[in-house]
Each structure stands twice: as C-alpha cells, then as structure tokens.
C-alpha cells in the first residue's frame, strides 16, 4: 500500500451513480487514494468513458458499497437517491446536486426513510460537463456542504465528512434552506449574470469583440455552462435566486439613473457622480470579502510578465521565478490576438509582489501590468 492509500480516511467500497464531470472527478480522486470505486450511469458510453479515464470499475454481483454518491442532474437526483437507498440498505447515500432543499422535500414528501441519506454539495466544478472534463483536484481547498438532520447517525455523517476530507475539501454543515439561500448569492446569480453579460457579445461587431481583455473574460467564464443543467438548478432554487435578482435590478436602475444624469462633458445632476462611485466602492467591499484560493482568507496579487512567443521562454520564466525564491500561487496564460507575445499572469502573496517585479525586471523580463 502506498502512502497516499494509507492516508485515505474512507476504507471501504464507494459506488458512484452518474459518471459525468462530478462523478468521474470524485472517482479519479478516490482511485488516487487506492479506494475501490464502482461506477454506474444511464448512458453506457458515459460509463465506459469514465472507466477508460480510470475513475473506477464496472460493478459486479456481490459488490457491497459502504457509501453511494449520486452525481446525476438535479431533476433525477431524488429518484436515484430513493433507488439506491432501497438497493443498498446498509450503505450511506449522499448526492452532490447543486440544490439541497428539493431532493429533501421530494423524498420526505414520499415518506422515504432518510436515516441513511445525507445531502451534500461540493462547491467545486467546471463550466464543462462529462468525464472528459473530469479532474481529481477540483475539490482541493473547496467547501463541501453537508446537510444533516436530527435523525442522521453520527457514523453516517462521519463517512460523508471523510469523503470531503479525502478529496481535500473542507466539510461545512448547513441546513438545506441555508445552503440554497447561500448558493443563490454566490453561485446561481453569478451564473445568470455571466450568461446575460456574455449574451451581449452575440451580435456585437467583430471590432468590439477583438478588443476583449481580461475583464470580460473574468466575468464570463461560466457563461459556457450547460443550459439544461442550469435550467434545472435555477428552477429548483427559484425563490432565493429571484430575491437576489430583484436587489440586483434595483442596483442596476440606480446606476442607469445616475449615468443618464451624467453628461458627456462631465456635468451631472447633484448626487449622480456619488451614486456611481458608491456602486463601484460597494463592489470593492464585496469582492474583498471573498476567501482566497484554497479557502484561505487572503487574496493574491498578480504580476503580469510579457513572454515572447518563442520555444522555451515560458519554461525559463518559471525556472527564474523559482530561482528568485518567489512562490507562485497560480499561473494564467493569455495570447494577444495577432501579436508575437503572450502574457503570463502570476499570482503571488501581496508581501512579495514588489520584490518579484524588481527581481524579474533585473533579469530582463518586461512587466506588463503593475
Ligand atoms: N458542474 C458543476 O460544476 C457542478 C458542481 C457541483 C455540483 N454539481 C452537481 O453535480 C450533478 C452532476 O453534474 P455534472 O456537472 O457532473 O453533470 P454531467 O452532465 O457532467 O454528468 C451527469 C451524468 O449523469 C448521468 N445521468 C443522467 N441521468 C441519469 C440517470 N437517470 N441514471 C444514471 N445516470 C444518469 C449522465 O449520463 C451523465 O453522465 C448535478 O446535480 C449538479 O448540480 C455540478
Ligand atoms: O467554477 C465553475 O465552473 C463552477 O461551475 C463552479 C460552481 C460554482 O458556482 O462555484 C457551479 C455550480 C456548482 O453547484 C458548484 C460550483
């Protein structure tokens, strides 16, 4: 047994139902820990693909999972939880659906015994579905919400916590109501806003789209998400989402009103400039509350280095960052259309930013944005 296998908290077989992005990513991460994972999916090709990627194996008669993880779209989550509770009465069944109240209500409304069910939701994912997009490390440092109720035995809770911890996540207990209200704000409305913003680009002139920089990319990445999945998520959490959208609409009206009262020559009706500045400042205060990468409560700063489009240049930059003793927290690459140059955006802790810039400039690197 390797060190990673020894360090796994889960010791017994895990069954994953739904082998798309979430199911295959969980399977890959558990397999890395040496855990026996069996897979199931309504789509034979999705199942075969996940097996090919190494997310687990096909089930065999006599398999007895200790934990079942339902990773299917929200509209079939409740029925599959019910099916799995019946098929494996000694197992703990959890799910990863992005909404938590709906499955709980559906199942308790049908009188299903929920002693062995614990809803959960890793706040980790990608804008692309399917096993082809799966990665073992997407859960690392991310919160994993666990919704227990009074009937949940502590050993069952411990099993789902072990799953989160084995995947590098931080388990957080919440009620389904608290969860759904929270994700309306931090996940569901951001999806709507990103989609609406990106939709503005559809008919924009090519000249405008060519100028797109990092700002629009940062605010629209998740606009590539699956419409059918999001139709289900938003529909199942409509009230909390609508509440936040109303507040957003009020803020938009304020900004529209203030800008309409501002002339191109800089004159404005009293209070209009302040309303605009207040809107931007409120955004500063909000974004400062977001925890940093890997859940740390500190944010990184970036140093953007211009990189000639020649073989080996990026490799040399990474080596030199190591030589000057700077710990790179993240790296993002961008190519400027039509230019023989790229940009390497390096995230560092704020304390080392200035030294990183000085040392890199001293070695001849050009810093693009301070
Ligand atoms: N995509 C994300 O970023 C993300 C993050 C956290 C949680 N989630 C939640 O995870 C769940 C899965 O999302 P995903 O992104 O992995 O989707 P996906 O489309 O990548 O995968 C879903 C899989 O479920 C299978 N499936 C559908 N109906 C089934 C059924 N009746 N029986 C068995 N298998 C069935 C599909 O064939 C597919 O392979 C959703 O409930 C979603 O809300 C998604
Ligand atoms: O970052 C992404 O691409 C996501 O899809 C992640 C994200 C999120 O909003 O944080 C999206 C929905 C899931 O329920 C959980 C995670």
Given pLDDT bands bounded at 50, 70 and 90, which one contains residue 269? confident
Q: Residue 39's pLDDT is what?
A: 98
- For the chain, what is the domain count? 3
98 and 223 part of one domain = no
Q: Write the CATH number for 189.
A: 1.10.3660.10
298 has a pLDDT exceeding 70: no
| Nearest by Cα to 220 from 212, 210, 231, 228 | 212
Q: Is 130 in the pocket of ligand 1 (CB under 6 A)?
A: yes
Contact 81, 95 (CB under 8 A): yes
Q: Is 185 in the pocket of ligand 2 (CB under 6 A)?
A: no
Average pLDDT, the chain: 92
Long-range contacts of 190-195 (CB under 8 A, 24+ apart): 190/222, 191/222, 191/225, 191/230, 191/233, 191/234, 192/234, 192/241, 192/245, 193/219, 193/248, 194/219, 194/220, 194/221, 194/222, 194/223, 195/222, 195/223, 195/225, 195/230
Q: What is the mean pLDDT of residues 288-315?
A: 79
Degrees to nearest 5, angle at CA 75 with 72 and 79: 75
72 and 22 part of one domain = yes
254 and 312 part of one domain = no
Contact 292, 298 (CB under 8 A): yes
Q: What is the mean pLDDT of residues 264-284?
A: 89
**Ligand 1 pocket: which of 20, 184, 191, 233 to mutate (most atoms within 8 A of CB):** 20
Q: Residue 364's pLDDT is what?
A: 94
215 and 358 part of one domain = no
Phi, psi of 172 (to 5 degrees): -135, 125
Q: Write the CATH number for 143.
A: 3.40.50.720
Does residue 286 sit within a domain? no
Does residue 284 sit within a domain? no
Does residue 251 sit within a domain? yes
Interface pTM (ipTM) of the complex?
A: 0.98
Beta strands in the chain (DSSP E): 14-17, 37-40, 67-70, 92-95, 117-122, 143-147, 170-173, 301-308, 330-335, 341-348, 366-369
Q: Which of 234, 260, 286 is the last residue of a domain?
A: 260
Q: What is the mean pLDDT of residues 295-308?
A: 76
Which ligand has the nearest atom to the CA of 135? 1
Give the span between the Cα atoms of 239 and 105, in whole angstroms: 15
Task: Enter the DSSP assignment of 205.
Answer: -
Contacts of 297 (CB under 8 A, 6+ apart): 291
Given pLDDT bands bounded at 50, 70 and 90, which one contains residue 339? low
Give the span between the Cα atoms of 81 and 118, in whole angstroms: 10
Task: Enter the DSSP assignment of 194.
Answer: H
Does residue 102 sit within a domain? yes
Q: Which of 243, 260, 277 is the last residue of a domain?
A: 260
Q: Is 131 in the pocket of ligand 1 (CB under 6 A)?
A: no
362 has a pLDDT exceeding 80: yes
Percent of the chain with pLDDT over 70: 95
**Ligand 1 pocket: which of 71, 87, 131, 183 to mutate (most atoms within 8 A of CB):** 71
Does residue 240 sit within a domain? yes
Q: 294: which 2 tokens?
A: 């890997």
Q: Residue 358's pLDDT is what?
A: 93
Q: Is 27 in the pocket of ligand 1 (CB under 6 A)?
A: no
167 and 199 part of one domain = no
Phi, psi of 79 (to 5 degrees): -65, -30
Per residue in 124-153, pLDDT (tens digit) is 998 899 999 999 999 998 999 999 888 889
Q: Residue 150's pLDDT is what?
A: 81
338 has a pLDDT exceeding 90: no
Per residue in 151-178, pLDDT (tens digit) is 889 999 999 999 999 999 999 999 999 9
Contacts of 34 (CB under 8 A, 6+ apart): 1, 2, 4, 5, 8
Q: How far is CA 302 from CA 251, 294, 351, in A?
A: 29, 16, 12
164 and 228 part of one domain = no
Q: What is the mean pLDDT of residues 91-116?
A: 96
Q: How far is CA 219 from CA 17, 248, 359, in A?
A: 32, 16, 31
* Ligand 2 center to 363 CA (angstroms): 39
253 and 307 part of one domain = no
204 and 342 part of one domain = no
2 has a pLDDT exceeding 80: no
26 has a pLDDT exceeding 80: yes
Lowest mean pLDDT among 10-14, 234-238, 322-326: 322-326
Q: Is 123 in the pocket of ligand 2 (CB under 6 A)?
A: yes
Q: Residue 310's pLDDT is what?
A: 82
Q: What is the mean pLDDT of residues 312-333?
A: 89
Phi, psi of 345 (to 5 degrees): -95, 115
Contact 336, 343 (CB under 8 A): yes
Give the span between the Cα atoms of 214 and 218, in whole angstroms: 6
Q: 171: which 2 tokens?
A: 């388990």
| Nearest by Cα to 102 from 191, 225, 234 | 234
Does residue 28 sit within a domain? yes
Q: Which of 133, 149, 174 is the last residue of a domain?
A: 174
Does residue 268 sit within a domain? no
Q: Which single residue is written with the structure tokens 């039509």?
A: 338
Per residue in 31-62, pLDDT (tens digit) is 999 999 999 999 999 999 999 999 999 999 99
21 and 160 part of one domain = yes
117 and 144 part of one domain = yes
Q: How far is CA 40 from CA 44, 64, 347, in A?
A: 9, 14, 39
Per residue in 202-246, pLDDT (tens digit) is 999 999 999 999 899 999 999 999 999 999 999 999 999 999 999
What is the residue range of 221's domain? 181-260
Q: Is 42 in the pocket of ligand 1 (CB under 6 A)?
A: yes
Q: Write the CATH number for 311.
A: 3.30.70.260
Q: What is the mean pLDDT of residues 275-292?
A: 93
Does residue 274 sit within a domain? no
170-173/301-308 β-pairing = unpaired
Phi, psi of 332 (to 5 degrees): -130, 135
Q: Residue 1's pLDDT is what?
A: 45
Which ligand has the nearest atom to the CA of 223? 2
Contact 46, 19 (CB under 8 A): yes
8 and 148 part of one domain = yes
Cα-only R_g, the chain: 24
Query: What DSSP assignment string belongs to 225-239?
Result: S-HHHHHHHHHHTHH
8 and 117 part of one domain = yes
Give the span between the Cα atoms of 295 and 327, in whole angstroms: 17
Choose between 330 and 157: higher pLDDT.
157
């Amino acid at each position: 047994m390797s060190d990673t296998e020894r360090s796994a908290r889960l010791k017994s077989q895990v069954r994953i139902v739904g082998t798309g992005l979430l199911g295959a990513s969980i399977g890959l991460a558990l397999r890395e820990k040496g855990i026996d994972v069996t897979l199931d999916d309504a789509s034979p090709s999705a199942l075969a693909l996940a097996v090919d990627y190494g997310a687990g194996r096909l089930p065999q008669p006599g398999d007895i999972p200790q934990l079942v993880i339902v990773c299917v779209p929200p509209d079939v989550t409740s029925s599959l939880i019910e099916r799995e509770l019946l098929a494996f009465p000694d197992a703990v069944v959890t799910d990863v659906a992005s909404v938590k109240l709906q499955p709980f209500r559906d199942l308790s409304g049908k009188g299903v015994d929920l002693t062995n069910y614990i809803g959960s939701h890793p706040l980790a994912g990608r804008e692309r579905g399917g096993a082809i997009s799966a990665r073992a490390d997407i859960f690392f440092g991310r919160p994993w919400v666990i919704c227990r109720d009074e009937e949940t035995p502590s050993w069952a809770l411990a099993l789902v916590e072990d799953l989160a911890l084995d995947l590098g996540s931080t388990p957080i207990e919440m009620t389904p109501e608290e969860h759904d209200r929270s994700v309306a704000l931090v996940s569901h409305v951001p999806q709507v806003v990103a989609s609406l913003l990106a939709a503005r680009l559809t008919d924009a002139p090519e000249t405008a789209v060519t100028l797109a920089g990092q700002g629009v990319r940062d605010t629209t990445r998740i606009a590539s998400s699956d419409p059918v999945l999001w139709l289900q998520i938003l529909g199942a959490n409509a009230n909390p989402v609508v509440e936040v959208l109303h507040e957003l609409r009020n803020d938009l009206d304020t900004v529209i009103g203030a800008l309409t009262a501002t002339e191109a020559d800089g004159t404005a009706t009293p209070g209009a400039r302040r309303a605009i500045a207040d809107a931007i400042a409120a955004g500063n205060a909000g974004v400062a509350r977001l925890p940093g990468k890997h859940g740390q409560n500190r944010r990184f700063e970036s140093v953007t280095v211009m990189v000639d489009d020649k073989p080996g240049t990026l490799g040399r930059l990474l080596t030199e960052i190591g030589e000057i003793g700077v710990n790179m927290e993240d790296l993002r690459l961008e190519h400027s259309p039509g230019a023989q140059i790229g940009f390497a955006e390096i995230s560092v802790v704020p304390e080392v930013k200035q030294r990183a810039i000085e040392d890199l400039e001293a070695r001849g690197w050009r810093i693009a944005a301070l």
